[in-house]
Amino acid sequence: MPEETGPAEGGVHLSMSRLYMSIALIAVALLLVWATAYKYGESAGKSYMESLIPNKPGVLPPEDIAGSDPVDSGNVGSEVDNSVGEPPRVPAAAVGAVMTAQGFVEADPRVSGHNYLQLATFSSEQAADAILFMNDNGMPIIGVPVVDSAVRAGNNPSRYTLYSLGLAVPGGGQFRAMEAQRDEHKRAIASLGSRWQRERRGGSDFGESKTQWVKYN
């Protein structure tokens, strides 16, 4: 008598194929849910930032920040009051938070010990407009709230100092070694700043002589 053949393995292969296909579909679905949630969060943050900007931002006087050597400071450099009248307050949730193109974040994205180009200090609406404009043109910048001891605790910050995240320069010998990159970055910032001042009536053109490198600690 011929030997009996075992059960066909086609059913097992079909089940495994369906299992793999199910896993793949679940992974794709999770990826789509994550992408949708991320895009919604980014859009909501940007919309919130845009709500801080008036239709026609007032013209503020250019900053006067002299010098090109880095300043070793964990806080902002020179503070210039460019506000016109009483600036609108940032919502309470933003107290002490860093202003970004995606909204406010609690953690400062800068790396300790690195130098970042300090641009200017503006009122909240001018800072938000500059951040969104520069970010839309491929230059990420942030606004660090100015600490004012004269303001009652719990009040929202009315001024922000802008820093470029486009180039982070380590200290020591590397700072001097990256002089060419630093100069190029300054020129790129000044070019966009000139456009911001012209197209959006920005308060500064971020000229090369008006910006300085500041070490973040």
pTM: 0.61
Region of residue 27 (phi > 0: left; psi between -120 and 50: alpha; otherwise: beta): alpha
Cβ atoms of 50 and 132 within 8 Å: the answer is yes
Q: Which two tokens stand for residue 36?
A: 């949708």
Give the closest residue to 192 by CA, choosing from 158, 161, 169, 166. Answer: 166
Compute the distance between CA of residue 95 and CA of residue 106 in angstroms, rounded to an integer: 9
- Each residue's pLDDT tens digit in the chain (217 positions)? 555 555 555 555 557 777 778 888 888 888 777 777 666 666 666 665 666 655 544 333 334 343 345 655 444 333 344 444 444 444 444 567 999 999 999 999 999 999 999 999 999 999 999 999 999 999 999 999 997 766 555 566 789 999 999 999 999 899 999 999 999 999 999 999 999 999 999 999 999 999 999 999 9
Whether 158 and 96 have beta carbons less than 8 Å apart is answered as no
